[in-house]
A and B are shown apart, each in its own frame.
Chain A
Amino acid sequence: MVKLRVNGQEHSFAGDPSMPLLWYLRDELGLTGTKFGCGAALCGACTVHVDGQATRACITALSELDGRLVITIEGLDPDGNHPVQRAWRTFNVPQCGYCQAGQIMQAAALLATSKNPSESEILSVMSGNICRCGCYQRITAAVKSAATGA
């Protein structure tokens, strides 16, 4: 039995402990904001926070999550107004939008630990998140803006 907290709610899971968090969130809890892109921690579309750390849900088995705190895009901010989310809207970042939940969770985790990251730090931390539409220059601008409050 795995017990974990997702967006503030207690859950327990008695199924296959090898199930990645991604499919648990999507199929079992109906939290579909966390996206499937590769299943191999190569694209970042499934990024969530586990105990505050940006984590690829697609390779994180439920067996590793007993007693852990998981935050998904749905739980990042009750009103959807986290500074990163606001910056994403100010800069009109998304095109298709599919990867953006993962991008936002990655950026929010960065800004939680690094209040004013350098451009090279932003690029390095965000380089695990693929955007096939190519919204990158706006992502960089939005992360900078969210960091400075500009």
Chain B
Amino acid sequence: MTMSAIHVAIENVSRRGFLRGMLATGGLILAAEFVPGRAALAYATGAAKFPGGVVADPHVFVSIDPSGIVTIIAHRAEMGTGSRTSLPMVVADELDADWAKVKVRQSPGDEKKYGNQNTDGSRSMRHFIQPMRQCGAAARRMLEIAAAARWNVDIAEVEAKNHEIIHKPSGRKLGYGDLAAAASALPTPPPDQIKLKDEAAFRYLGKGNVQIVDLFDITTGRAGYGIDARLPGMKYAVVARPPVLGGKLVSHNATAAMKVPGVEKVVVIDGTPPPSKFQPIGGVAVIAANTWAAIRGRDALVLHWDGGAHDGYDSAAYKAQLEETAGKPGKVVRNDGDAEQALTTAAKTVSAQYYVPNLAHAPMEPPNATARLADGKCEVWAPVQSPGEVQDELVDKFKLKREDVTVNVTLLGGGFGRKSKCDYVLEAALLSQAMDGAPVKLVWTREDDLHNDYFHAPSFERLDAGIDGQGHVVAWRHRVVAPTIRSIFVADPKREQAGELSQGVIDVPFAIPNLRCEAGEAEAHSRIGWFRSVRNIPHAFAVQSFVAEIAHTLGRDPKDMLLELIGPPRIFDPRKSQGAAGYTNYGEPFETFPFDTGRLRRVVEVVAEQAGWGRQLPAGHGLGIAAHRSFVSYAATVVEVAVDNKGKFTVPRVDTAIDCGFAANPERIRSQIEGAAVMGLAIAKYGEITFKNGRAQQNNFDGFQVARIDESPVITHVHIIPASIKVPASGVGEPGLPPFAPALCNAIFAATGKRIRQLPIGDQLAS
């Protein structure tokens, strides 16, 4: 895309003041009886397996005031993907509403009412485009019924168009506002009376002509993030947490802290022993009249910690241990043919090992929450990806009734999976309780964030390929050794689990007759959590780097090699491989979201063509390619790198092709893919948290560096594979990330002949 003015100009009445009033009570929803919408869906998704499933009822999501302003509920969290705009946009399109007369209102946590709200896994559009279309179409139908009744005409004679109902024979018109009261009194029409629009009639879907509803407020400082919550009488808190996972407070002295002006109370938070899931890990809180006093008070605490069971965690030693494990057979998790035998008899073998270290999420808005827990009721204001789970945890911890727990979802200043884990909300609630019900705003400093994250797990992967006398790859063995996310929920299973292995290991789509995957044992020594695109990061790095290494060994073009390994277009079902029956397909029914190697081939071919694969490059430049299916979308990236004679590199250009099914909001899809290139660069170039004596060594953005504007890709061109509304929308937030690091490292190899097998790149290119 070019960066000349983007073709979006539709303004929206939500732009002013929306979240400004977020702490006020009262709402705009017309009183309406809750009726669970029964969606008649063209295809099944995995949504039904989540708490609340899907709801498509306009009585829940849509209200219209007499002036014609349509208010649509956004029930998913907004962390930058655009879902708070895009899903209401789906409703507005089917409603044939004028976007300039649409307001968006964020729902609190209530999955029974709104359907699932766990904003994670690139699921928002995938799970809710259908119910939101149904919802908008049902609301349109209700307005038509109301108009036909008002005019006493046959409903076949009326039609909704641009915020009005038109009586076609007479040309009479009624605005949506004129019909709102009558329409809202109607029952939700059954699915067989709801007609979805034809694709040709879409106004916003697929167009990219709608701006995010918070755009004006974001650019004027008025947008409300969790950290911006303010309540009368509110106190401010920070917490000193155990420096090592599972460490215990032996003693503390708060005398000096209490002398800091503004400090009001020092409170010990009991730690939850591992596996602690989303519960607090404990610590000592300082509660004060303002954040600065709390920080100074914390600095003055004298604390003595017992290191705990993980104080020997040392990243360098741990990596050596992972490497040793990867040298031995692991648990077999997929086994086609006989890879061991084929490796033995191959004419040639290629082997390589790859490593991706611990990473931190580091959203720009660190974890924070404001809570009030008094009189058996708890209300929180927080940037959370999954308000339903926050309710679950608060109910569980404080033995409250669910209806007495209110979770107000603010904007999220980045999430990336960190804000799926609500330990910080529980801390805030505990502190409000300790302050006898006064509201408390808890803020994690950046140091707190980097020291106590649910870290992305380190991963060591060994790959071996066997090549026959004709130059065909006939054997593939992939060993992955990494601790599992599951270790935060249950006693540590000590190896990647099915869902993790389904992210680029057992679903490797290569047409190789002898293909074996193994998972080795690795113990977790920190809290481990999902990070944007999760295990696809290390797995795609290993697999897609290795493909280019095989190509180099055979003197083949890396793009041709990749296409040859993917093989002919076909539906590839990993579950049919021996040992891989547990393949999870991102929780989606395989029938709706099959693994179509033709679509994977297509993104490779499109990106190669668009990027000018094979073109002449200046000296020191190189092109690299990588492709990966994740979150049931297909993405391929070509990176152009320029490496100077000191080993300093820049990225003049990135091309990414994305096939995410129907592209509901192409403008936000582009922004997600552009951003994925920047985050991908950060991971590849700098991303690493190291541990010593069980303690994370990086404190802030000096030690844990992320990509800055002067080193980021100069331009990322996004190529969206066109698809009709009949092609199920899949995922967008995460799939752009996995191909970036291998494409970059493949480009570096093309430019310099140096192969990067361990991230981050750091100073490995220095000469």
Contacts and interface: CB of A to CB of B under 8 A. Distances in A.
B262 A15 contact: yes
B8 to A, nearest CB: 6
Contact of A95 (B80, B292, B293, B714): B80
B710 A39 contact: no
Nearest to B230: A30
A40 B295 CA distance: 13
B222 to A, nearest CB: 7
A132 B412 CA distance: 12
Given A38-B446, A96-B80, A98-B364, A134 B678 contact: yes
B675 A89 contact: no
Contacts of A89: 211, 215-216, 219
Contact of B363 (A32, A39, A132): A132
Contact of B80 (A42, A97, A126, A136): A97
A111 B531 CA distance: 37
Contact of B701 (A104, A127, A130): A130
B236 interface: yes
B215 A38 contact: no
Contact of A97 (B227, B411, B716): B411
B212 interface: yes
A44 B415 CA distance: 19
A45 interface: yes
Interface residues on A, range: 35 or more
Nearest to A142: B3
Interface string B705-727: 01111111111100000000000
Nearest to B229: A32
Contact of A132 (B292, B679, B709, B713): B679
Nearest to A128: B708
Task: Indicate the member of B219, B261, B295 with the most A CB atoms within 10 Å.
Answer: B219
Main secondary structure of the interface of B (DSSP, over half): loop
A39 B291 CA distance: 11
Nearest to A61: B292
Main secondary structure of the interface of A (DSSP, over half): loop
Given A89-B219, A96-B412, A20 B675 contact: no
B290 A27 contact: yes
Contacts of B296: 16, 18
Nearest to A45: B364
Given A80-B220, A130-B701, A94 B677 contact: no
A35 B413 contact: yes
Nearest to A101: B221
Contacts of B224: 32
B291 A92 contact: no
B446 A40 contact: yes
19 contacts: A26-B228, A32-B230, A42-B701, A43-B364, A72-B221, A73-B221, A89-B219, A91-B3, A91-B5, A91-B6, A96-B363, A97-B214, A128-B708, A130-B701, A136-B678, A136-B708, A137-B712, A137-B713, A138-B3
Interface of B: 3, 5-6, 8, 78-82, 211-212, 214-216, 218-225, 227-228, 230, 236, 261-262, 290-293, 295-296, 362-366, 411-416, 443, 445-446, 667, 671-672, 674-679, 700-702, 706-716
Given A27-B236, A36-B366, A100-B218, 6 more contacts: A40-B701, A98-B413, A133-B675, A134-B707, A137-B712, A140-B3
